Amino acid sequence: MIDERTKKVLQTIIKHCNIINDTKKFFGNNYSEFENNSIYQNAILTPVTQIGELVKKLPLDFRTKYNQIPWRNIAGMRDIVVHNYETIDKVILWNVADEETDKIKEFCKKIINEVI
């Protein structure tokens, strides 16, 4: 069972995953649109950064128990975005937005639903 604080963190991660999906729908769900549009890129960077920050708020025992999600990599992506903005690989960022956020979202939903 997870505590209320962890549940809220997971709910907020889901919210930011939804923002990424909404952004992709708004701008067009394809890499070429993303690659050539700095506004689109920034609109994805913000929720990716937020998800990484939220992951750092998850208790270590939670991240250890549910280690099928690469929590450390997610937090690390946040650090790269914040501290090395100019070196961000657009392909990696797109893959995170296009493939990984849905996995994270579904996982968080599953954990929340197990608690209820």
Identify the three-state secondary structure at position 114.
helix
Whether 78 is a known active-site residue: answer yes
> What residues contact residue 85 under an 8 Å CB cut-off, 6+ apart?
45
- Residue tagged active-site, from 5, 16, 72, 83: 83
Q: At what angle do helices 4-27 and 101-115 cross, to 10 degrees?
A: 150
Q: What is the dihedral of CA 42, 22, 8, 88, to 10 degrees?
A: -30
Hey, what are 16's tokens?
A: 């930011």
Whether 16 is a known active-site residue: answer no
Q: Please identify every residue annotated as catalytic.
A: 78, 83
